[in-house]
């Protein structure tokens, strides 16, 4: 993810000149050189995760026909799933009746606020995929990350809502999950909204 500085707070030190007791009238008092103001640490980006979810399911290979590539899986509740394994399942000959098929699905929705000039409204999609090597049990993963950059057009602190205008020009008003963060954002700021989804499939021989 990109790290964005949201403003910089400067600490200003005020110096007060004090007379030194016992200093003679004709003797100049010692003057202290002013110490430069120290810059405070940059504020953390306004960001967070709206939701995150992981679902895992396991099934057992009940029947398998290598010629027709028809497979029957039995889920933990006893229900059956029948399908034809496509040609993309290149390691089907390594699958045997009794093998376990594990499927894991992951999804998450996150956001990060950036200042104007640190980006432009728009949308992008990044994808990645991988699969098992030849000769191994079938398996693989696929992931997709979709990012939409919207612009804050209105902030209603009383109602704790923010209105966002997407790259297509459409506006949406959302409820702030953490109203305190509204004090750290402004109209014109950009919001990166990122949706991540991934699925992994693995076929394993059950341990005896």
**Band (195; pLDDT cuts 50, 70, 90):** very high
**Count of domains observed in the chain:** 1
What's the pLDDT at 38? 55
Residue 33 pLDDT more than 80? no
Q: Which of 7-11, 37-41, 43-47, 125-129 has the highest mean pLDDT?
A: 125-129
What's the pLDDT at 42? 65
Would you say residue 148 lies in a domain?
yes
Would you say residue 116 lies in a domain?
yes
What's the pLDDT at 40? 59
Cα gap 164→134, rounded to integer Å: 48
Would you say residue 89 lies in a domain?
no
Would you say residue 170 lies in a domain?
yes
Q: SS3 for 30?
A: coil
Residue 10 pLDDT more than 80? no
Q: SS3 for 68?
A: coil
Q: Bigger pLDDT: 37 or 148?
A: 148
What's the pLDDT at 62? 96
Would you say residue 11 lies in a domain?
no
What's the pLDDT at 118? 93
Would you say residue 140 lies in a domain?
yes
Cα gap 202→208, rounded to integer Å: 18
Tell me the residue range of the domain where 128 lies.
Answer: 47-58+100-204
pTM: 0.69
Largest Cα separation within the chain, whole Å, is 110
Q: Bigger pLDDT: 113 or 22?
A: 113
**Band (191; pLDDT cuts 50, 70, 90):** very high
Would you say residue 9 lies in a domain?
no
Would you say residue 171 lies in a domain?
yes
> Tens digits of per-residue pLDDT, 88-141?
888 899 999 999 999 999 999 999 999 999 999 999 999 999 988 888 998 999
What's the pLDDT at 207? 81
Q: What is the mean pLDDT of the chain?
A: 82
């Amino acid at each position: 993810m990109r790290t964005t500085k949201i403003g910089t707070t400067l600490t200003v030190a005020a110096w007060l000149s004090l007379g030194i007791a016992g200093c003679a009238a004709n003797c100049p008092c010692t003057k202290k050189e002013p110490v430069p103001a120290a810059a405070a640490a940059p504020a953390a980006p306004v960001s967070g995760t709206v939701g995150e979810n992981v679902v895992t399911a396991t099934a057992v290979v009940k029947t398998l026909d290598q010629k027709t590539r028809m497979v029957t899986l039995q889920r933990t509740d006893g229900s059956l799933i029948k399908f034809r394994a496509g040609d993309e399942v290149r390691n089907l000959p390594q699958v045997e009746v009794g093998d376990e098929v594990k499927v894991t699905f992951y999804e998450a929705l996150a956001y990060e606020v950036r200042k104007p000039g640190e980006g432009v409204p728009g949308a992008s999609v990044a994808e990645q995929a991988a699969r098992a090597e030849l000769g191994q049990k079938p398996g693989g993963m696929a992931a997709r990350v979709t990012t939409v950059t919207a612009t804050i057009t209105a902030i209603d602190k009383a109602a704790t809502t923010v209105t966002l205008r997407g790259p297509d020009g459409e506006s949406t008003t959302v409820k702030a999950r953490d109203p305190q963060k509204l004090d750290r954002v402004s109209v014109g700021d950009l919001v990166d909204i990122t949706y991540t989804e991934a699925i992994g499939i693995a076929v394993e021989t059950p341990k005896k």
